[in-house]
Amino acid sequence: MNQTFKAAIKGLVATAGLGIALGSAQAQTVLKFGFGLNLQAHYGVGAVYMRDNIEQRTGGRYKIELFPNFALGGEREMTEGAQLGTIDLVTTSSGPVGNFVPDTLITDIPFLFRDYAHARSVLDGKIGQAILDKCTAKGLICLAWSENGFRHLTNSKREVAAPADAKGLKIRTMENPVHMTAFRTIGVLPTPMAFPEVFGALQQGTVDGQENPIGVITSSKLFQVQKHLTLTGHLYSPAVTLMSPAAYNKMSEADRKTIRDLAREAAAISRKRVEQQEAEGIEMLRKEGMQVKTLSTDEKVAFQKAMAPAYKEFAAKFGQANIDAIRDAK
């Protein structure tokens, strides 16, 4: 065998090896995962967990690329992206999802859940799964319930210790008809707005305040543009981890199970982060200069009673039996 022939053989082998390597690289599917807030916030730690585990769990067939801080748009836009197949994975507040899957909005009724244990038990059980299953017909795959936490009211105008104190305040809400109805009932002027616009709107005085869980208030530094915090805990705010059917339907059954398992595990991690943020966040907000009002039991009941008229509308929309099934769940 002459040297020229040997060199040719080596070249063919090298080319074949490169082709195998390229084929292997091309076989790995990269999933784009969009969410709001930063990597240290509750959405972020869950997303990082999914990213760090998917390659091993799928034998390298899948990889996740993270896009935090609304890099792919607001929550409604990201949810639309999942429907269209331009974004593969999204973790979002449940409110915007209600524009696509109305059944999810039942979870946003004020004072529906007693505490975290109650909310998580319902959402992780048959009731929660039945709601997630409704997503498929609307062009979304809802993998798991995640969490934002109980929502509280902030504003730049005055202390809010009673429903009458909130009357006339222009409060940013999610694009969520349930939230808007509840606030309108107590005389608030609800102003739906995508979250990436909120800080600027508060800074400019376009709106007086907003409502969000402690973790969102701290991670978004809303204390820089808000003076008063009232710990209303007026509603529990779940989140949903979604997947585009375009990406999901290409997966094997084993990989589909893997992505669902990872989403549920990530949700548990997010929930722990929510608890940590709440435990540490209130004192941090005080140190940043916010005036924090903790409601007494009677003061909180006053807010519940003030929002009661809205329940007639909620019962007509969702069915009283469905509301009672959640409220009475043990």
Domain limits of the chain? 27-327
CA distance 34 to 166: 34
pLDDT at 4 over 90: no
Q: What is residue 12's predicted lDDT score, i.e. its pLDDT?
A: 45
The pLDDT tens digits of the residues spanning 184-222 come to: 999 999 999 999 999 999 999 999 999 999 999 999 999
pTM of the entire predicted model? 0.86
| Superfamily of the domain at 27-327 | Bacterial extracellular solute-binding protein, family 7 (3.40.190.170)
Share of the chain above pLDDT 90, in %: 88
**What are 147-171's pLDDT values in tens digits?**
999 999 999 999 999 999 999 999 9
129-146: per-residue pLDDT in tens?
Answer: 999 999 999 999 999 999
What pLDDT, on the 0 to 100 scale, is given for residue 191? 96
- As separate numbers, helices (DSSP H) first and strands (DSSP E) second, the chain gives 15, 9
101 in Cβ contact with 173 (< 8 Å): no
> How many other C-beta atoms can be found within 10 angstroms of the C-beta atom of residue 228?
20
Kind plus residue range of the DSSP H or E element containing 107? none
Q: Are 204 and 181 in contact (CB under 8 A)?
A: no
